[in-house]
Amino acid sequence: MLQHAVRAVKTVALLLLFCSASAMALPNTPQQNYLLKCSGCHDIDGSGTVAGGIPPLPGYIGSFLDDPQGRVYVLHVPGVISAGLDDTELADLLNYVNHKWGDVKARPFTAAEVKMNREHSVADVVKLRREIVSRFVRDGVKAGTYPWP
pLDDT band at 149 (very low <50, low <70, confident <90, very high): low
Give the chain's mean pLDDT.
84
Using a CB cutoff of 8 Å and minimum separation of 24, what contacts does 84-89 make? 84/37, 85/33, 85/37, 86/111, 87/111, 87/112, 87/114, 87/115, 87/118, 88/114, 89/27, 89/28, 89/30, 89/33
Question: With 50 as the cut, is the pLDDT of residue 133 above it?
Answer: yes
Domains identified in the chain, total number: 1
pTM, two decimals, is 0.79
Question: With 80 as the cut, is the pLDDT of residue 96 above it?
Answer: yes
Tell me the mean pLDDT in the region 52-71.
Answer: 91
**Domain span holding position 40:** 28-139
Question: With 90 as the cut, is the pLDDT of residue 50 above it?
Answer: no
- Neighbouring-strand partners of residue 49: 54
Question: With 90 as the cut, is the pLDDT of residue 17 above it?
Answer: no
Q: How far apart are CA 17 and CA 143, in angstroms?
A: 52
Per the rule left: phi > 0, alpha: psi between -120 and 50, beta: everything else, 110 is: beta
Q: How far apart are CA 57 and CA 34, in angstroms?
A: 12
Question: With 70 as the cut, is the pLDDT of residue 146 above it?
Answer: yes
pLDDT band at 1 (very low <50, low <70, confident <90, very high): low
Q: Establish if 4 belongs to a structural domain.
A: no
Tell me the mean pLDDT in the region 128-138.
Answer: 94
- The CATH number covering residue 63 comes to 1.10.760.10
Tell me the mean pLDDT in the region 93-111.
Answer: 93
Q: Establish if 146 belongs to a structural domain.
A: no
Q: How far apart are CA 43 and CA 109, in angstroms?
A: 22
- Residue 148's pLDDT is 66
Q: Establish if 7 belongs to a structural domain.
A: no
Q: Establish if 5 belongs to a structural domain.
A: no
In 3D space, the residue among 102, 101, 118, 121 whose CA is nearest the CA of residue 110 turns out to be 118
